[in-house]
Structure 1
């Protein structure tokens, strides 16, 4: 944070930074001035530092929107975040490439020391016209970044400088400069006594217990999956006890796979146990129903088999050699009859 003299202080400190770092490449006397480029070409070695634009920093523009309370009390000291745009030009004897040598020194210095040192800020504040500047006490450091400008942008920039011929130059942006307001907020009251309480759920003044939410719906989805598995097992054609059990096992496996694929993971152990018990119960219920449905057919088949055995035993008592053929073959009766006739 700093006062309104921060902008001029940065400009003067930038000129001192360039002037102090010209050597050892430059072995001549060079004047560094904080002014606009001259209207007439200069033959003496000279560098001009010209602040041509001041803009609000886009990332910090709305940082201090809420600065006052509803009653008008100042809560936070307002600060304007600014970016400074500099045009640095070099002049000198063109036959000796003085301007190019000076520009090279400027670029090397700002690339090597991109952050403005505090000692240079303090030295710049010693100027009579900068007395009272407190930029050196600010926690925010000013950094210089080169700006890329094409031919059109450079032409527009030099076009603003009426009757000023173009000179070799570079453009740099200095950020961030914070300008404080005059009014200071009232300091907040200190904490007199820390008060920390720990209360269980349900106690007076304690918050309500958070609801379980989505995991409670998982058993219902598991029950629906188990019912579908039982219906599929009932609709399966009864072909015997073993096959019915196979259908029940397959339905249970499909139900469990469906539960893993569709249902979200249940974090409660009790909910997980209920889901598995419900699925197993539904699958077993489906298998039991299918077994009961298949039982009448199995009884009829067993009755016919016992009738054939009884018939074979009554007619085939005279022939013990053909008694074994009457246990389930359709032609056992004919063989028994032949034996009776003989």
Structure 2
């Protein structure tokens, strides 16, 4: 980082770099001047270093924002990143090719030493008009890169120089020059007393494994009695959120809830069975009334029942009763011969037969 004198310091240091590396190829006195090309070309060997353009560096354009703390304290001051464009021209006796010899020396020097040396920056800052320049303290180095200009760009550049004849020249870019703001950031306070402790889990004052999940779970001090909040115990009356695994025994309220649930389930199952028994009785009574005396005899165990009319023993009425009852009627069941006797009960209310033939 540097102050506003960095731009002029780079120009003067570049002139010194060219002047100090003219020899041994150039054995004549050469004047290196930091000004624009003259309108009247000088007859003596002369090199001009002219800063014709200053542009913002595109890669560092967004890194110059001011950074402040929450209380407004300046943490990072802004810095403008600049690229400097130099036009270096050479003059001398044309018959002796002095200008071409000087341009060759300039190109060789900047190709061999592309980074501006710190000692030349300090030498340039000793000039009276550059007193106070701190470019030498900057960590960012200034590097020179040659630029290629076509005929159109060259004509535009020299066209801006009013009444200035063209001379053999080269163009270089100096990057990167950082200009700091006036304000200085407040330095961070040094560490007064380092306090680093290493404790295993479970030791007094050590954090619990997994960290604290809520605001009330702070680590108790060493020697303090554990409380419901610090020990992680659940207050009395708080329902448990744990899910009981299959096959585990229920305890407390869970067992009571399970018993009441089983009672309700047994009551519902009994009501269902009662309804199914009533339906079976009604179906058997209807089948018995439609079959007449033969159905009653067959239900009572008479072997002659079921022969009349060409019907087989255990005919349609028996099949109807068997199908209706499924695996058997609860009221009667099966007798020793395997016949279903539920429909042949003489004491069944509403039965048309009393179990004897008329």
1:74 counterpart residue number: 74
Q: CA deviation at 1:30?
A: 0.6
2:132 counterpart residue number: 132
Structural mapping, 1:160-239, within 5 Å: 160-191=160-191, 192-194=193-195, 201-204=209-212
Give the whole-Å Cα distance in 1 for the aligned partners of 2:122 and 2:55: 24
Distance of aligned partners of 1:128 and 1:203 in 2 relative to their CA distance in 1, 3 Å threshold: closer
Q: CA deviation at 1:202?
A: 3.9
1:10 counterpart residue number: 10
Contact in 1 for aligned 2:66/2:77 (Cα 8 Å): no
Contact in 1 for aligned 2:66/2:78 (Cα 8 Å): no
Q: Deviations over 1:109-148 (max 9, x none)?
A: 0000111111111111111111111111111111100011
Distance of aligned partners of 1:196 and 1:80 in 2 relative to their CA distance in 1, 3 Å threshold: farther
Aligned length: 207
Q: CA deviation at 1:166?
A: 0.6
Structural mapping, 1:25-64, within 5 Å: 25-64=25-64
Instruction: Compute the RMSD of aligned alpha carbons.
Output: 2.0
Structural mapping, 1:93-132, within 5 Å: 93-132=93-132
Q: CA deviation at 1:194?
A: 4.8
TM-score of the aligned structures, taking structure 1 as reference length: 0.57
Q: CA deviation at 1:100?
A: 0.5
Q: CA deviation at 1:84?
A: 0.6
Give the whole-Å Cα distance in 1 for the aligned partners of 2:122 and 2:210: 62
Q: CA deviation at 1:196?
A: 7.0
Q: CA deviation at 1:204?
A: 2.1
Q: CA deviation at 1:195?
A: 5.4
Give the whole-Å Cα distance in 1 for the aligned partners of 2:177 and 2:23: 29
The unaligned stretches of length 5 or more in structure 2 are: 202-206, 215-358
3-state SS in 1 of match to 2:53: strand
1:21 counterpart residue number: 21
Q: CA deviation at 1:162?
A: 0.9
Give the whole-Å Cα distance in 1 for the aligned partners of 2:120 and 2:137: 12
Q: CA deviation at 1:67?
A: 1.8
The unaligned stretches of length 5 or more in structure 1 are: 207-342
Give the whole-Å Cα distance in 1 for the aligned partners of 2:124 and 2:75: 33
1:323 counterpart residue number: none
Give the whole-Å Cα distance in 2 for the aligned partners of 1:97 and 1:82: 35
Q: CA deviation at 1:11?
A: 0.5
Q: CA deviation at 1:71?
A: 4.2
1:155 counterpart residue number: 155
3-state SS in 1 of match to 2:76: coil
3-state SS in 1 of match to 2:35: coil
Q: CA deviation at 1:182?
A: 1.3
Distance of aligned partners of 1:181 and 1:21 in 2 relative to their CA distance in 1, 3 Å threshold: same
Give the whole-Å Cα distance in 1 for the aligned partners of 2:25 and 2:196: 66
1:144 counterpart residue number: 144
Distance of aligned partners of 1:21 and 1:203 in 2 relative to their CA distance in 1, 3 Å threshold: closer
Distance of aligned partners of 1:183 and 1:196 in 2 relative to their CA distance in 1, 3 Å threshold: farther
3-state SS in 2 of match to 1:59: helix
Larger Rg: 2
Distance of aligned partners of 1:27 and 1:202 in 2 relative to their CA distance in 1, 3 Å threshold: closer
